């Protein structure tokens, strides 16, 4: 099955390898690409904080571009297992993984939290879901946020149109922003009409909610907001009715 992968290129290669191992044909067309802000990160790290929090592997990649060797024993809270492993891979040793969403990570931190003189430092991206910061505020946990990277929208043109000349049978959408960007791509307006049976695999209900009404019948939502759960939808055992 031809599967369109819309993740940034820094993450898409791993996804493509997993799809290939499952017998699928990945097509890599990023909807966003990250731009890191090392200066903002260094400025944020220069002020007091008691722990770090990250809700994406991209935040870890941004962190790793500055000198963080003195931080490897600082507590770091990661949104899920993949992000936690990314943090460990660059040297962090005191890593706690959350179940997979921002509000759940806030709950995990609340269970560990004791009164601190310095706030939690959230290494964040833009755009991002507000769930983590809202969850921390509800728990009364002080947090300082630094926007360590921005996701820059990518406009698809003739080259991308060529890759889609044979329409994929499925697309993977990882966020609400990705779903909105995908269906707004100008080159897709005629193409989408020819793929009414294309499966739309979404990371979460919030992602699925951004899919236009006429395609809601094609949406399949992962049981958990993780790539493992998303990938499981493409396995033969999932029983998904592919086109």
Instruction: Tell me which CATH code domain 2-31+154-238 carries.
Output: 3.40.50.10090
Residue-range domain boundaries for the chain = 2-31+154-238, 34-152
Look up the pTM and report it. Answer: 0.87
CA–centroid distance for 32 within its chain: 11
Number of H helices, E strands in the chain: 11, 11
| Cis peptide leading into residue 127 (ω within 30°) | yes
Whether 109 contacts 136, CB under 8 Å: yes
Sign of the torsion angle spanned by Cα atoms 108, 110, 114, 117? positive
Query: Could you say which architecture CATH assigns to the domain 34-152?
Result: 3-Layer(aba) Sandwich (3.40)
pLDDT tens-digit map of 50-95: 999 999 999 999 999 999 999 999 999 999 999 999 999 999 999 9
Spans of the chain, pLDDT less than 50: 242-243
Whether 207 contacts 237, CB under 8 Å: no
Whether 64 contacts 90, CB under 8 Å: yes
In this predicted structure, what is the pLDDT of residue 243? 46
In this predicted structure, what is the pLDDT of residue 241? 52
In this predicted structure, what is the pLDDT of residue 90? 97
Instruction: Tokens for 109, please give them.
Output: 């931190």
In this predicted structure, what is the pLDDT of residue 115? 84
Q: Check if 2-31+154-238 and 34-152 are the same fold.
A: yes
Whether 40 contacts 148, CB under 8 Å: yes
Whether 220 contacts 202, CB under 8 Å: yes
Whether 109 contacts 90, CB under 8 Å: no
């Amino acid at each position: 099955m031809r599967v369109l992968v819309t993740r940034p290129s820094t993450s898409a290669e791993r996804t493509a390898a997993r799809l290939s191992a499952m017998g699928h044909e990945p097509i890599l067309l990023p909807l966003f690409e990250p731009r890191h802000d090392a200066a903002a990160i260094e400025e944020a790290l220069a002020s007091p904080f008691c722990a770090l929090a990250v809700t994406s592997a991209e935040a870890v990649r941004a962190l790793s571009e500055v000198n963080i060797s003195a931080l490897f024993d600082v507590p770091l809270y990661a949104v899920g297992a993949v992000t936690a492993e990314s943090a460990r891979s660059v040297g962090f040793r005191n890593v706690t993984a959350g179940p997979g969403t921002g509000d759940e990570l806030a709950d995990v931190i609340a269970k560990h939290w004791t009164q601190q003189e310095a706030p939690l430092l959230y290494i964040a991206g833009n755009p991002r879901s507000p769930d983590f910061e809202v969850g921390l505020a509800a728990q009364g946990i002080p947090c300082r946020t630094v926007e360590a990277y921005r996701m820059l929208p990518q406009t698809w043109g003739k080259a991308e149109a060529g890759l889609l000349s044979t329409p994929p049978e499925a697309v993977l959408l990882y966020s609400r922003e990705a779903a909105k960007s995908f269906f707004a791509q100008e080159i897709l307006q005629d193409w989408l009409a020819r793929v009414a049976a294309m499966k739309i695999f979404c990371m979460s209900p919030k992602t699925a909610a951004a899919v236009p009404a006429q395609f809601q019948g094609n949406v399949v939502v992962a049981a958990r907001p993780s790539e493992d759960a998303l990938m499981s939808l493409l396995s033969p055992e999932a029983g998904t009715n592919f086109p």
